[in-house]
Structure 1
Amino acid sequence: MASKRDLKKDIDLLMSMVLNDCFYALEYNSKVDAQAVMKIASDVIEKHREFRIRTNHTDGKDNPKLVKEYYKALVADLLKTANEAFDSLSEEIKKVA
């Protein structure tokens, strides 16, 4: 693992990309369901906070193998969450297209 600092930056970057797309969709597509897009954005914000907290509070600090597995699971959850958010946003935009 590189560092907690880099992981936090990656979390911030990925979650901000999803939020930017949500706000872009709201701004430039007046037909999109604003409530659904805002729900996606609020879920992303909640997950962002959760990931940042999980980054700071590592399980099994004494065992390097447990720490490595913990961060692998965290990164997998991060990517899964971002992918699901992008897919949900895509579906909302396709509804009006």
Structure 2
Amino acid sequence: MASVRELKKDINFLASELITEAYVKQLVKEDVNNDKIAEVMVKAIEFRNDLVAKANHPDAKNNPKKVKAYYQNLRKSMMEQFLSISEETNAL
């Protein structure tokens, strides 16, 4: 299992990718709505903050199997949220 440190690095990387994607979209497309871009950026920051908080405080700390399952579900949730926000950015 990857460490919590690596998980947080992945979370930070994905959040920065979402924000970068939104900035590039804003610079490249002239007809993009700046309010919608700002909403996507706020979602990316909330995505990051929420997942880091969850990574710092796992459920059932005394049961290794539950902790492992918790982090696996967290990674799955992370990827689903990342794809959702990325698709939203591409739709702008």
Both structures adopt the same fold (TM-score exceeding 0.5): yes
Q: Which runs of 4+ in 1 moved over 2 A?
A: none
% identical aligned pairs: 28
Offset, 1:58: 0.9
* Structure 2 CA distance for aligned equivalents of residues 91 and 78 of structure 1: 20
2:8 matches 1:8:
yes
Alignment gaps of 5+ in structure 2: none
The corresponding residue for 2:28 is 28
Map 1:22-61 onto structure 2 (within 5 A).
22-61=22-61
Q: TM-score, normalised by structure 2?
A: 0.95
Offset, 1:29: 1.4
* Structure 2 CA distance for aligned equivalents of residues 40 and 26 of structure 1: 11
The corresponding residue for 1:86 is 86
Q: How many residues align?
A: 92
Offset, 1:2: 1.4
Q: TM-score, normalised by structure 1?
A: 0.90
* Structure 1 CA distance for aligned equivalents of residues 19 and 34 of structure 2: 13
The corresponding residue for 1:63 is 63
Over aligned residue pairs, what C-alpha RMSD do you find?
A: 0.8
Alignment gaps of 5+ in structure 1: 93-97
| Deviates further, 49-58 or 22-31 | 22-31
* Structure 2 CA distance for aligned equivalents of residues 43 and 15 of structure 1: 9
* Structure 1 CA distance for aligned equivalents of residues 28 and 84 of structure 2: 22
The corresponding residue for 1:74 is 74
